[in-house]
Amino acid sequence: MILRFFAVIYVTISAIFVWKIYSDPSASLGYAPMFMLFWLIAGITLITLVVKKEIQIKTNWDTIILLFATPIPLLVFLFFTWLIMAFL
């Protein structure tokens, strides 16, 4: 339950940052460092919760949710978006 809540909050905040960065390119210089700081704080929080056994990975579904509570899916999505845009 904690992992699902964490993943939903993480994805929501990441989406807001991406939306803000793309909607106002001049403000992206201010949002980018905050985005990296958010990733750092969220990563430390996630590692702490896993180490303290607050989050237990029992099923494949938990592993998928854990993956979405990291920057990996966003980076893969942005990479493929950039790749598609480069060839248009």
pLDDT digits (tens, 9 = 90+) for 19-33: 888 888 777 678 888
The domain total for the chain is 1
Which pLDDT value is given to residue 51?
Answer: 92
Q: Which residue is associated with the tokens 């579904």?
A: 61
Q: Indicate whether this model's pTM tops 0.85.
A: no
Which pLDDT value is given to residue 28?
Answer: 66
Asked whether the predicted pLDDT for residue 88 surpasses 80, the reply is: no
Q: What SS3 class is residue 52?
A: coil
> Roughly how many angstroms between the first and final C-alpha of the chain, as a whole number?
42
For the chain, what percent of residues have pLDDT higher than 90? 22
Q: Note down the domain range covering 79.
A: 2-86
pLDDT digits (tens, 9 = 90+) for 34-55: 888 999 999 999 999 989 988 8
